[in-house]
Amino acid sequence: MAYTIIEVSQKTGVSPRTLRYWCDNGLFPLIERSSGGARYFSKSDVEWVEWVVRFRKMGCAWSVCVSI
């Protein structure tokens, strides 16, 4: 199942703007896109967003999250 950025935002509490930033800066290098450019997240992508939220709450730097 593929999730839209709005659905991921609602599930995780991460704003669409932050999700777009993360996508554009390498956190999701294999994210699917529609012909119109809409991002589609897989179930594992959503789980990864949840992990990143946890890492950030623990104080991990952005570069650590991207390199994992």
- As a whole number, mean pLDDT of residues 25-50 equals 91
Average pLDDT, the chain: 89
Q: Count of CB atoms within 10 A of residue 14's CB? A: 19
What pLDDT does residue 55 have?
87
Question: Could you tell me the pLDDT band of residue 68, with boundaries at 50, 70 and 90?
Answer: low
What pLDDT does residue 15 have?
97
| Per-residue b or e along 22-58, where b marks 16 or more CB atoms closer than 10 Å to that residue's CB | bbeeebbeebeeeeeeebbbeeebeebbeebeeeeee
Distance CA 55, CA 1 (A): 25
